[in-house]
Structure 1
Amino acid sequence: MAGAERALVIVGGGLAGARAAEGARAAGYEGPLVIVGAETAVPYIRPPLSKGFLAGTEDRDAIDVHPRAWYGEHRVQLRLGRRAERLDTRAHELALDDGSVLRYERALIATGASPRTFGGPGGDLAGVHLLRTVADSAALRDALAPGGRRIAIIGAGWIGLEVAAAARGYGNEVTVLGLETVPLNAAIGDEAGAVFGELHREHGVDLRMSTSVARIVGDAGRATGVELEGGEIVPADVVVVGIGAIPQTALAESAGLEVDRGIVTDAAFRTSDADVLAVGDVASVLLPFLGAHLRTEHWANAEHAGRAAGRSLAGEAVEYDEIPYFYTDQYDLGMEYSGYAPLAAGIAPVFRGDRAGREFVAFWLRDDRVVAGMNVDVWKVNDTVQRLIRSRAAVDPARLIDPAMPLAALAVADG
């Protein structure tokens, strides 16, 4: 494409990249538009990889953002199976691993994050699984689906617990190994995390917290178990590592863009170079409501911020300020969370509803203002929770948790 008309180039073939292409076309951009993706698959949605697709309840085609034909119909060129190797901000050129060079008018980096690998011995043994791509999920599903196997999961965060639920659904014996005292402590704190801990124990998961892993052991090149600090070995036919993700910032760093726990952008997704934007898991975006930068690794961020970044890429004035949102499905339990984790950190939530029966809404308040809310098997309240957060209104916690006080009325009264 060297010498050709400059294009809008989106580096990253995931949900954020696909939605950015939509956003650019919706903003009226009619010029060349290119998506560069390291995977050969058309952009797809990742949450089912640890939920429905992994559990066998969603088909492969159901997770694609669009059928392949959509990209041709909207004049979006797909360069799949290609990696971006160098971004030259002065020449406005992107070099790919096949030797080709794309000339860009503006570029959007949506390279996402990579799963954190197990750093101890045995991480490269056969039978050790990471979960990020559809190929990862398909391979793990094949390993789980026979049932009757011993599954050891290192990590008690969202990925670890969702995989545990899928593995138990196939009839496997599951052990989850977590460093913290309570699962999901870093995400939602001890009180709310304990609810999920009890859920998994009730479904037969051997949940071991405050547990440190020394190494993954194996025989003939294949994992056979996990050795804990202290020497105990947890036998396993399959080992899943779910210990977080690392933003793929190498392209931005080599181009000299500002990076601080993610590619730093303003509220319009512009990086330290005005013609390069960033969005999704890789971006640390300034959120005006929060008054700080935040990197968010959830589906809703790729979905909504992707579209907004595409509009900004096309030249439309944008100030993104959506409240972070994510959800989980584990066994027969569903949950939605909206809010700002940095503001909720270290705060004990208050609970409205039946916490013991796992039908409740939890609220995190700072200075009597709702900064985050989580509804567990209580539905059609997330919009109200978001209105409470956005209102910044002081709320009496006693009224907030009183089931006789309709949340919608409270949001109107105090918002």
Structure 2
Amino acid sequence: MAGRLVIVGAGQGGFAVAAKLRALKDPRPITMIGSETVPPYQRPPLSKKYLLGEMSFDRLMFRPETWYADNDVDLRLGHFVEAIDRSAKTVVMQNGEVIAYEHLVIATGATPRKLPSAIGGDLDGVFVMREKRDADRLAGVMEAGKSLLVIGGGYVGLEAAAVARKFGLAVTVIEMADRILKRVASPATADIMRAIHQSHGVTIREQTGLERLVGDNGRVTGAVLSDGTVIAADIVVVGIGVTPNDQLAKDAGLEVANGIVVDDRARTSDPAIFAVGDCAELPFRGARIRLESVPNAVDQGDAVAAVLAGDDRPYLPEPWFWSDQYDVKLQTAGFNQGYDRTVTRPGQREGAVSVWYFRGGELLAVDAVNDAKAYVSAKKMLAAGTNPSPERIADPETDLKSLLG
């Protein structure tokens, strides 16, 4: 039997490795180490249905807690790995315990960036959204009539704005860039999502940064914006991106760039160590990227399990993402990096629309807003390497199925 696999991190990627190995009937002993005190769970619903009280925590868990013992997975909750000793092939826990491994998977995820304490980041009422405890704390203060300031116009910030409006809060979103979704989507998609939020009463202020938060008795009460405006804020949600949790790998001497550098098998610079999920920088289309998404964490975790079980095939990412805001489902297929043109296509149902990204004549990605047909068609085209002409995509009379070949 193969030696012990140690998985550092009990999120989506780490769980995927363990679950896939057991599905493949691989009998090796597995130890999974997680910093949270609850069993591994889905994170996306935290900022949506869980926060709204529409989904209980037990429905978020990947498996019942009994699954781990039943499948010989030694689950260590509320624990941290302090160091990796690559020469001894051991990890050292925060309590001093040393665990030997034959293979190691680092699935430590990423940490939300916080505001500096010098500008009010430590005030009560200032939140980030990543873990269950973040959602629990935020749910405890979401009350109709309060005011929420969202700092950052990315998907995390916009999802928080949508949930807050459902609670009945007054919401302002500020974005330093010239538009929301600057890093992840086109101006066309940003225009669609901006209009949706404004129709729900959200105030969006672009090209507006934060000078500082202000407070009273240690609790946030407002904010001074970059243009000198002072606004009230009972609650602040910070959505200004994440930092990959790669310090453990860096301290162990592994190659690190924008995350832990891995090859197309998710191996690090040490062949006994893999990295998956948000903490890993992987090869994609001749470049190196980090894919901050649940589907990538799952697929990459599955790929690592297959490699460990003897199926040494490369992991070829097929990126897809989603975001739920109000009654709007935004689904993205592909990765739009390097696009030079977008085409907007109306859907067949009211409110359905899609934005198609091209580089020259190559289809790179699609953002589909309440348009499942466009999303599914685009995903099939991307998987098959089909490159429809932008002109045919732009023509609402074109049947997408006819482009699939």
Q: TM-score range with shorter-chain normalisation?
A: over 0.9
Q: Which residue of 2 aligns with 1:137?
A: 135
Superposition pairs for residues 11-410 of structure 1, below 5 Å?
A: 11-119=8-116, 120-144=118-142, 146-287=143-284, 290-344=285-339, 347-353=340-346, 358-410=351-403
Judge conservation of contact 1:350–1:364 (CA < 8 Å) in 2: yes
Structure-1 separation of matches of 2:348 and 2:402:
22
Residue identity opposite 1:158 in structure 2: Y
State the SS of the aligned residue for 1:20. helix
Question: Would the alpha carbon gap of residues 218 and 129 (structure 1) be closer, same or farther in structure 2, given more than 3 Å must change?
Answer: same
Structure-1 separation of matches of 2:384 and 2:361:
12
Q: Over residues 51-90 of structure 1, what are the superposed CA-to-partner deviations in whole Å (9 max), with x where a residue is unaligned? A: 2112222111111111111111211110110011101111
Structure-2 separation of matches of 1:21 and 1:327:
25
Residue identity opposite 2:364 in structure 1: V
- Cα deviation for residue 218 of structure 1 reads 0.6
- Cα deviation for residue 249 of structure 1 reads 0.2
Higher relative contact order (CA 8 A, sep 6+): 1
Structure-2 separation of matches of 1:301 and 1:220:
43
C-alpha RMSD of the superposition: 1.7
Structure-2 separation of matches of 1:204 and 1:381:
28
Structure-2 separation of matches of 1:63 and 1:197:
29
Structure-1 separation of matches of 2:316 and 2:235:
41
Structure-1 separation of matches of 2:373 and 2:227:
47
Judge conservation of contact 1:24–1:312 (CA < 8 Å) in 2: no
Judge conservation of contact 1:26–1:311 (CA < 8 Å) in 2: no
Structure-1 separation of matches of 2:192 and 2:119:
33
Judge conservation of contact 2:208–2:227 (CA < 8 Å) in 1: no
Structure-1 separation of matches of 2:343 and 2:114:
36
Structure-2 separation of matches of 1:176 and 1:308:
38
Range 385-394 or range 242-251, more displaced: 385-394
Structure-1 separation of matches of 2:269 and 2:213:
42
TM-score by length of structure 1 reads 0.93
Structure-1 separation of matches of 2:258 and 2:120:
28
- Cα deviation for residue 136 of structure 1 reads 0.2
- Cα deviation for residue 357 of structure 1 reads 5.6
State the SS of the aligned residue for 2:76. strand
Range 82-91 or range 301-310, more displaced: 301-310
Question: Would the alpha carbon gap of residues 171 and 143 (structure 1) be closer, same or farther in structure 2, given more than 3 Å must change?
Answer: same
- Cα deviation for residue 402 of structure 1 reads 2.2
Structure-2 separation of matches of 1:121 and 1:378:
41
Judge conservation of contact 2:381–2:387 (CA < 8 Å) in 1: no
Structure-1 separation of matches of 2:390 and 2:119:
49
Residue identity opposite 1:316 in structure 2: D
Structure-2 separation of matches of 1:334 and 1:253:
38
Structure-2 separation of matches of 1:253 and 1:341:
29
State the SS of the aligned residue for 2:283. strand
- Cα deviation for residue 356 of structure 1 reads 12
Structure-2 separation of matches of 1:323 and 1:212:
34
Judge conservation of contact 2:188–2:344 (CA < 8 Å) in 1: no
- Cα deviation for residue 323 of structure 1 reads 1.2
Judge conservation of contact 2:347–2:374 (CA < 8 Å) in 1: no
Judge conservation of contact 2:39–2:65 (CA < 8 Å) in 1: yes
The percent of aligned pairs where both chains have the same amino acid is 37
Question: Unaligned stretches of 5+ in structure 1?
Answer: none
Question: Would the alpha carbon gap of residues 324 and 351 (structure 1) be closer, same or farther in structure 2, given more than 3 Å must change?
Answer: same
- Cα deviation for residue 335 of structure 1 reads 1.2
Structure-2 separation of matches of 1:264 and 1:27:
27
Judge conservation of contact 2:336–2:357 (CA < 8 Å) in 1: no
Question: Would the alpha carbon gap of residues 18 and 246 (structure 1) be closer, same or farther in structure 2, given more than 3 Å must change?
Answer: same
Judge conservation of contact 1:107–1:313 (CA < 8 Å) in 2: no
Structure-1 separation of matches of 2:160 and 2:227:
26
Residue identity opposite 2:125 in structure 1: G
